[in-house]
Amino acid sequence: MTPAIDVINVSKVYRRYAQKKQFATLKSAILSGSLLGDLRPEDAFQALKGVSFSVPKGCTYGVIGSNGSGKSTLLKCVAGITRPTEGDVKVDGRISALIELGAGFHPEISGRENIFINGIMLGLTKKEIQRRFDEMVDFAEMQEFIDAPVKTYSSGMYMRLGFAVAVHVDPEVLLVDEVLAVGDQSFTHKCLDKFAEFRRRNKSILLVTHSLDLVEKFCDTAHWLKKGVTQGEGDPKRMVAAYVIDVEDTEEHALAKAEAARVAAAAKTVAAAPDAAAESDPPSGSLDPESGAGPEAAATQGPKDGFKSDEGRWGTREVEITNVTITGPGGDAGHVFQSGDAIHVRMDVHARARVTDFVFGLGLFNADNVCVYGTNTSLEQFRPTEIEGAGVVTFTIDRLDLVEGTYRLDLAAHKVDGYPYDYHRLLYTFRVKSKIRDVGIYRPDHAWSFGGGIKISDQK
Amino acid sequence: MFSNLAALCRYRGLIQTLVVRDLKARYRGSVLGFFWSFFNPLMLLGIYTFVFTKVLVGAHPGEMEPYALFMLTGILPWTWFASSVLESSNTLIAGGNLIKKVLFPAEVLPIVTVLANMVHFFLGLVILIAFLIYYQRPIEGLQLLWFPAIVLVQLIFTTGLALFLSAMTVHFRDLKDLLGNLVQFWFFATPVIYPMATVPMDMRWLLNANPMTHLMISYQEVLFFEGPHGHWQWLMALGVASIGVLLFGYFVFDRLRDSFAEEV
């Protein structure tokens, strides 16, 4: 059986023209004396590089990838809107593309007339439209307004009508580009039902989306694109997982880079004025119990100066925190973790001379700068004896029970009375990812149970 | 190119629908509605009639009486031509959404523009017929058979030009500004408000080189002047040339087609 869509080694190069020639005009072309020169590209951008896949009939095929990975270009090539620079696309049967809904609606004329025009543009005959007209209007929930000019429609109505026409074209192949966000919940469900019906009737769907859930639930196969290159193709769950890991990697790089820059900047300010930082009344650490500015005190008294101050680093460096790494369950240093992971925060410390009065502390803040948790060795009843030379402090969280978001860490070494040796304020960042979209600051370990007349099923 | 040209036949229904949409949309929301199609040529007619019969009295020979009727035979087809050319140059850019987001045969857009303006022309003919009856101009039935032929030649010529210009304007946006001036120049270089007979002999070659001249003379001979349509050889030659223009226009359009989705 021939596949519904066959994409063979497709590449697409977009030509980019030099900035000054962006608005090419005949006048400028004649003045610069090069009619043809202006039409010659200065630069090329490769949106797709040798992408191949085929979609069997009746298959729902998902394409995932970050912004700019070439998904939409791919869809346009399949739809025939643009032609691939190299390679070939074969489509068997009528295509309907849900790329831009309601493209071609004329604002001045009524919804009814627009349905006919749009239907004909999508390849229906007048009779076919007549037959499906009521179905389309019902689907779009537009009975009341169908004779009003389209310019009076809300954007939701506009999209719904466009969607209704496009899915009732009865295509063999349906191309969908991120258009499910058009209606309220009930309309989205209707759309999904419509897709399910397509599948039952052995039609093919090519779906481009950022909604990974949808790909996992609906697609038979997923295709992962990155910068125009195929990264993988196969089982949706596996592809989505691979894609998510890659995204985390990218975020990881970004976080690591930003953090390195922050730490370097902080180190510079300390190097410039170490004495000033030590002698002026230092912003007392929030992790210092005896000054009354510990985490519990902060919660009742409101933040002190140190609490409000931005990221930075101060202290005398008698005990210096030389390096900080956060490691995940695999033991690799990282910045992106799953909720529930075990993580270790490791501080390499160094004391130039023997120090007997020292406390190590840690504060965890969420993106709103709310202290999620703070503690130190003094609060937890460790009595310092001495430190000299290099040492290692590891703070282990067995389960990172946090909701999804970005968190920042304070790390500090100071005297019991709060006198800072080396205070790292909000210098370290990590991101927590979660499949569950719960909210709040803290996720207690929890379970649901149901009894009596409740029937409920676990979608996990 | 020719397979694309053949595919055009499949879009008949689409073209028809879009022409109707164009006409409906143009007049919806305006008070006079569809009477604007009459209003514009009548307005022009009024102006020129005033100028040439009250201000510049004697500027035209007696054979052009009644002058209003003479003008109308020329202005109606000219308006069709001029509006088509001006509007079609912008049509791909205005329809950018269709070209970028929907699998849509782009050539339909300029063709629809030409056809919609042709419908206006036909509506304007109603006024012309009213004038013909009012002045009791004798029309020889046999001469009238030429009329569809003239319209057809003009349609082919205008469509070819519209395809060419719409494709070029995508790349050279100022073409449509240039065209405004060019069309005005072209209007006075065509015997619309004056007959060919008043043109000095040594300038005739210039007017003969203008395709619109022959269309206008043909309209005038068929609808205004008595006597046979003596210009038919020119018309036939122009018909052949128009097919050349259409093929050339379509060739250029087809060559540039792939760039539309990216450049619009």
- pLDDT at residue B151 is higher than 70: yes
Q: Find chain B residues with C-beta within 8 A of A121's C-beta.
A: 14, 98, 102, 104
Q: Find chain B residues with C-beta within 8 A of A122's C-beta.
A: 102
Q: Which residue of B has its CA nearest to A26?
A: B172
Q: Are A367 and A406 in contact (CB under 8 A)?
A: yes
Q: What is the DSSP string of A347-370?
A: EEEEEEEEE---EEEEEEEETT--
Q: Find chain A residues with C-beta within 8 A of B14's C-beta.
A: 120-121
Q: How many CA atoms lie within 13 A of A301 on its CB side?
A: 14
Sign of CA dihedral A28, A33, A36, A41: negative
Q: Are B222 and B147 in contact (CB under 8 A)?
A: yes
- pLDDT at residue B160 is higher than 90: yes
- pLDDT at residue B114 is higher than 50: yes
| Amino acid A299: pLDDT | 34
Q: How close B29 comes to chain A (CA, Å)?
A: 8
| Amino acid A435: pLDDT | 80
Q: Are A137 and A164 in contact (CB under 8 A)?
A: yes
Quick check: B262 and A149 CB within 8 A? Answer: no
Which candidate from B14, B172, B261 shows the least CB-CB separation from A82? B261
- pLDDT at residue A349 is higher than 90: yes
Quick check: A106 and B97 CB within 8 A? Answer: no
CB pairs under 8 A between A and B: 74
Instruction: Tell me the average pLDDT of chain A.
Output: 80
Burial class from Cβ neighbours inside 10 Å (0-12, 13-18, 19+) for residue A297 reads middle
Q: Which residue has the tokens 């990812």?
A: A433
Quick check: B258 and A26 CB within 8 A? Answer: no
Most B-contacting residue of A76, A95, A120 (CB-CB within 10 A), to test interface: A120
CA A196 vs CA A60, A201, B178: distances in Å: 10, 9, 54
Which candidate from A15, A24, A97 shows the least CB-CB separation from B171? A24
- pLDDT at residue B33 is higher than 90: no
Give CB contacts under 8 A, 24+ apart, made by B254-257.
Answer: B254/B1, B254/B4, B256/B167, B256/B168, B256/B170, B256/B171, B257/B106, B257/B107, B257/B167
Q: How close A125 comes to chain B (CA, Å)?
A: 8
Domain boundaries, chain B: 2-263
Q: Find chain A residues with C-beta within 8 A of B175's C-beta.
A: 26
Which candidate from B14, B172, B262 shows the least CB-CB separation from A29? B172
| Amino acid A360: pLDDT | 94
Question: In this predicted model, what pLDDT tens digit does every residue of A182-205 receive, in sequence order?
Answer: 567 777 788 888 888 888 888 888
Quick check: B13 and A126 CB within 8 A? Answer: yes
According to the 3-state scheme, what is the secondary structure of chain B? CHHHHHHHHHCHHHHHHHHHHHHHHHHCCCCCHHHHHHHHHHHHHHHHHHHHHHHCCCCCCHHHCCHHHHHHHHHHHHHHHHHHHHHHHHHHHHCHHHHHHCCCCCCHHHHHHHHHHHHHHHHHHHHHHHHHHHCCCCCCHHHHCHHHHHHHHHHHHHHHHHHHHHHHHHHCCCHHHHHHHHHHHHHHCCCCCCCHHHCCHHHHHHHHCCHHHHHHHHHHHHHCCCCCCCCHHHHHHHHHHHHHHHHHHHHHHHHHHHHHHHHC
Q: Find chain A residues with C-beta within 8 A of B109's C-beta.
A: none
Which candidate from B99, B100, B262 shows the least CB-CB separation from A14? B262
Q: Which residue of B has its CA nearest to A14?
A: B262
Does A24 reach chain B within 8 Å, measured CB to CB? yes
Q: How close B31 comes to chain A (CA, Å)?
A: 14
Segment A398-409 shows an average pLDDT of: 88
Quick check: A109 and B175 CB within 8 A? Answer: no
Does B171 reach chain A within 8 Å, measured CB to CB? yes
- pLDDT at residue B145 is higher than 50: yes
pTM: 0.69
Q: Find chain B residues with C-beta within 8 A of A108's C-beta.
A: 24-25, 28-29
Q: Which residue of A has its CA nearest to B108?
A: A121
Instruction: List A176's β-bridge partners, or say none.
Output: A98, A207
Q: How close A265 comes to chain B (CA, Å)?
A: 44
Quick check: A104 and B174 CB within 8 A? Answer: no
Quick check: B21 and A99 CB within 8 A? Answer: no
pLDDT band at A255 (very low <50, low <70, confident <90, very high): confident
Sign of CA dihedral B177, B178, B181, B182: negative
Q: Are B198 and B174 in contact (CB under 8 A)?
A: no
Q: Domains in chain A and their CATH numbers?
A: 5-245 (3.40.50.300), 248-288+295-433 (2.70.50.60)
Does B255 reach chain A within 8 Å, measured CB to CB? no
| Amino acid A271: pLDDT | 54
According to the 3-state scheme, what is the secondary structure of A234-269? ECHHHHHHHHHHHHHHHHHHHHHHHHHHHHHHHHHH
Q: Find chain B residues with C-beta within 8 A of A150's C-beta.
A: none
Percent of chain A topping pLDDT 90? 13
Q: Between β-strands A60-64 and A204-208, what pairing exists: parallel, antiparallel or unpaired?
A: parallel
Question: In this predicted model, what pLDDT tens digit does every residue of A272-328 receive, in sequence order?
Answer: 544 444 444 444 444 444 443 444 333 333 334 444 456 788 888 889 999 899 998
Which candidate from B98, B171, B261 shows the least CB-CB separation from A103? B98
DSSP state of A149: B
Residue type, A206: L
Q: How close B261 comes to chain A (CA, Å)?
A: 6
| Amino acid A306: pLDDT | 46
Q: Find chain B residues with C-beta within 8 A of A99's C-beta.
A: 101-102
- pLDDT at residue B85 is higher than 90: yes
Question: In this predicted model, what pLDDT tens digit does every residue of A293-302 receive, in sequence order?
Answer: 444 333 333 3
Residues of B (7-26) whose Cβ lies below 8 Å from A: 13-14, 17-18, 21, 24-25
Q: How far is C-alpha A310 from the geometric centre of its chain's CA atoms?
A: 26
Quick check: B97 and A26 CB within 8 A? Answer: no
- pLDDT at residue A395 is higher than 90: yes
Which candidate from A24, A116, A149 shows the least CB-CB separation from B17? A116
Which candidate from A15, A95, A109 shows the least CB-CB separation from B24? A109
3-state secondary structure of A122: coil
Compute the distance between CA of residue B238 and CA of residue B260 in angstroms, rounded to an integer: 31
Segment A61-71 shows an average pLDDT of: 87
Q: Between β-strands A95-98 and A43-55, what pairing exists: parallel, antiparallel or unpaired?
A: unpaired
| Amino acid B82: pLDDT | 93
Instruction: Tell me the average pLDDT of chain B.
Output: 84
Quick check: B21 and A106 CB within 8 A? Answer: yes
Does A117 reach chain B within 8 Å, measured CB to CB? yes
Q: Are A220 and A61 in contact (CB under 8 A)?
A: yes
Q: Are A41 and A84 in contact (CB under 8 A)?
A: no
Q: Find chain A residues with C-beta within 8 A of B261's C-beta.
A: 76, 81-82
Does A129 reach chain B within 8 Å, measured CB to CB? no
| Amino acid B80: pLDDT | 92
Q: Are A411 and A377 in contact (CB under 8 A)?
A: no
Segment B200-220 shows an average pLDDT of: 88
Residues of A (147-176) whose Cβ lies below 8 Å from B: 149
